[in-house]
Amino acid sequence: MPAEQALGQRFEVDVELGLDLRPAAQHDDLARTINYAEVYDTVKRLVEGERFALLEALAEAIAVQVGRRFAPQRVRVCVRKPHAPIAGILDHVAVEIERTPEAWQ
């Protein structure tokens, strides 16, 4: 909505990555897994630095960017918008997508 575009809005984002964690667990080695602090920074840059008209577009951008940068086996992204300007009683609206490497290669 125009007012949301002008004023900005809050989002809640969940990112779930699918990958084999055995090498990291067996060697207790961060270099053998995906650093979730770096994933957080990637998502934060997108959410705070880019503009999207649709939750779907934001979720897709997050999935593709995280996929390209960290190469997991799959990425699931849920973007929630609390207090959406909809006449009704609800906590939030949300979009959830799941992507595999074909989406970001």
Catalytic residue numbers, as ranges:
81
For residue 73, what are the contacts with CB-CB under 8 A and spacing of at least 6? 18, 19, 20, 100, 101
Please state, as a whole number, how many other Cβ atoms lie within 10 Å of the Cβ of residue 16.
Answer: 12
Q: What 3-state class would DSSP assign to 39?
A: helix
